[in-house]
Amino acid sequence: MFSIWIKSKTVKVKTYRKLHRVLVPSFALFFLFVSLSGLILAWKKNSAGILLPKTEQGLSSDMQNWLPMDSLHTIAVYSLKDSGLNEYSTEIAKIDLRPKKGIAKFIFEHHYYEVQVDCTSGKILSLKKRNADWIEEIHDGSIIDRFFNIKGDPVKVIYSSALSFGALFMIITGFIIWNKRRKKMNNKVNT
């Protein structure tokens, strides 16, 4: 009975080892993309404006002095068109309002440019590309959804889930294989 139990454990470890050897190279390239893009994204706020444009300072943080949001939106859209980027979408993805700095960042759909507008004067403080956004899309797999114009981010969900389960599987099987070898080495030393 004991020998059958030992054989089944040995077969499981051999199976885990085979799966581990097959899956590690398969996932390695994706893990490389995720780890490198994650490393780059960790530095985005400290990249001297290379990955993410520096947040500028507006004239006033007092909201009583600010222009209406629809006026700021119009200014941002016209500045995008006037800058020679008129073929790019003017559809707003999000507005990042910074009350302490007195600015609004207008981030657009379908491209990676942002416009920073002074909320008091309406002056354009910055119009720059947000490189961190496309790196983040590589990181989470949503760049494929964007490229093929797939709604709902299904590739992102599948990609992230597969990599997460793959990493978890590698850790568990790696630990089982390592633990089995460690026990084997200890038995050799003790005998």
Q: Please state, in angstroms and rounded to a whole number, the distance separating the CA atoms of residues 101 and 99.
A: 5
Helices (H), 43-153: 69-80, 131-140, 142-147
The pairs formed by 132-140 with CB atoms below 8 angstroms and a separation of 24 or more are 132/41, 132/44, 132/47, 132/51, 132/52, 133/107, 135/37, 135/40, 135/41, 135/44, 135/51, 136/37, 136/41, 138/33, 138/37, 139/33, 139/34, 139/37, 139/38, 139/41
pLDDT for the residue 5: 46
Q: Please state, in angstroms and rounded to a whole number, the distance separating the CA atoms of residues 191 and 188.
A: 5
**Model confidence pTM above 0.95:** no
pLDDT digits (tens), the chain, 191 positions:
444 444 566 667 788 778 878 888 888 888 999 999 999 999 999 999 999 999 999 999 999 999 999 999 999 999 999 998 878 999 999 999 999 999 999 999 999 999 999 999 999 999 999 999 999 999 999 999 999 999 999 999 999 999 999 899 888 888 887 776 666 666 676 66
Q: Tokens 């700095």 identify what position?
A: 101
- Burial code of 154-165, b = ≥16 C-beta within 10 A, e = fewer? ebbeebbeebee
Write the DSSP symbol of residue 124.
E
Q: Which amino acid is at 189?
A: V
Cα separation values, 43 from 38, 50, 96, Å:
9, 10, 20
Q: Which amino acid is at 22?
A: V
Cα separation values, 68 from 59, 76, 95, Å:
15, 13, 13
Those residues with Cβ within 8 angstroms of residue 159's Cβ, 6 or more apart along the chain or in another chain: 30, 140, 141, 144
Q: Tokens 């599987």 identify what position?
A: 169
